[in-house]
Structure 1
Amino acid sequence: MTRKSRTRQLSPEEKRLWSHVARHVKPMQGKTLPPEPEPEDNPATAPAPAVAKLPPALPPLPPLKPPMPPLAPVERKTLQALRRGRKDVDSVIDLHGMRQEEAHFALLSFLHRAQGSGHALVLVITGKGGAAVSNGLFEERGVLRRMVPHWLRLPDLRHLVIGFEEASAQHGGSGALYVRLRRRRSAG
């Protein structure tokens, strides 16, 4: 059974468009440009293009809140003062041994209390995580060490946190973070 190929004829507009495109490219070796199409005799008889019905207008969007500024690192002078023992942190929380959900809730509560007390710099101890014990299939160690920085970057904590840095060795090193807190806005 032979199949007849169907070839659709180009409309005059399509021929004009193709000719325009073809005139702006270099023809391949051995090929020639297509002939210029003849102008239409009666362009007024051409059917008008169908106009799509526009969807109803959407209500105006509420103004967007300005984005929170990016996290800022703890100042170099502050870090030096902490390392040299000339400055202390205002408060400390130790998340050792907590599960993720428990640690996240404890961290949120701690940061709110610390900001409410007027603290500017706090220490969050996550622990470094030990060697993984292969009791379970998905045993992970050092989860809080990875998750706490992620939590501190989340938008819901940005109204509390200005920035954070890894703590110096005497405060726990890579198993702890210095966290700078925003001042609480006074109501009124």
Structure 2
Amino acid sequence: MARRHLSSDEQAIWNTLTQSVRPLRPRPLPEAITERPVAISTGRSVTPLSPRPVDAPSTRAPAAMLDTSWERRIRSGTLMPDMTVDLHGHSLSSAHARLNQALSSALARDHRILLIITGKPPKLSASSQQSRRGAIRGEIGHWLETSAYADRIASVRQAHPRHGGTGAIYIILRRKK
């Protein structure tokens, strides 16, 4: 499907909408905040809004998809982790500390692929319709986003069944600069 460009009215509405969205977990404000005026279009006139902060310098976020070679290795389970970290059975605070220690160690050793075992989510009873995740599995995404090593993470993916399936994830680190 070909993409179309937004009209100026649609663009103004889109800008207004994106300003009203708030993240579930707020990120810290950047140190330097510069003002950038934004406007809303109401009919034919343009009403300026109060200035908003400029986004922080871009940090590289983990990719949802990697190149074909990586994707094939992940799907087939032929990916061989350089390091395995078992967080299963740890408290949240000790699991968080262990994850940070593992990332630091992996980067120091130039490892690229970490297998993080979080444990499988609890089995649901037939009467329970809600889906639940384990506590560590539920927090690990936030821990990785806010980690001091977040910009070194290329991708975070569910592990192949050979490596733990839903009870584990791969963290693929970027090459050294």
> In the alignment, which of 67, 72, 77 is matched to residue 69 of structure 2?
77
1:152 offset after TM fit, Å?
Answer: 1.3
Give yes or no for contact 2:81–2:115 (8 Å, CA) kept in 1: yes
One-letter amino acid of the structure 1 residue matched with residue 57 of structure 2: P
> In the alignment, which of 92, 99, 110 is matched to residue 100 of structure 1?
92
**Counterpart mapping for 1:67-146 below 5 A:** 67-75=58-66, 76-131=68-123, 142-146=134-138
Give me the whole-angstrom Cα distance separating, in 2, the residues matched to 1:120 and 1:74: 16
1:93 offset after TM fit, Å?
Answer: 0.3
Give yes or no for contact 2:61–2:153 (8 Å, CA) kept in 1: no
Give yes or no for contact 2:115–2:170 (8 Å, CA) kept in 1: yes
Partner of 2:165: 173
1:124 offset after TM fit, Å?
Answer: 0.6
Q: Deviations over 1:21-63 (max 9, x none)?
A: xxxxxxxxxxxxxxxxxxxxxxxxxxxxxxxxxxxxxxxx588
| Rg (Cα) greater in structure | 1
Give yes or no for contact 2:61–2:151 (8 Å, CA) kept in 1: no
1:157 offset after TM fit, Å?
Answer: 3.3
- What are structure 2's unaligned runs of at least 5 residues? 1-31, 35-54, 125-131
Give me the whole-angstrom Cα distance separating, in 2, the residues matched to 1:164 and 1:99: 22
TM-score (norm 1): 0.54
Query: Is 2:147 aligned against 1:152?
Result: no
Q: Deviations over 1:113-150 (max 9, x none)?
A: 00111111111110013359xxxxxxx97101111122
2:151 aligns to what SS in structure 1?
coil
Give me the whole-angstrom Cα distance separating, in 1, the residues matched to 2:88 and 2:61: 28
- What are structure 1's unaligned runs of at least 5 residues? 1-60, 133-139
Identity %: 31
Aligned Cα RMSD in Å? 2.6
Closer, same or farther: CA 127–81 of 1 in aligned 2, 3 Å: same
Give me the whole-angstrom Cα distance separating, in 1, the residues matched to 2:169 and 2:122: 18
2:148 aligns to what SS in structure 1?
helix
Give me the whole-angstrom Cα distance separating, in 2, the residues matched to 1:120 and 1:73: 17
Give me the whole-angstrom Cα distance separating, in 1, the residues matched to 2:141 and 2:173: 14
Higher strand content, 1 or 2: 2
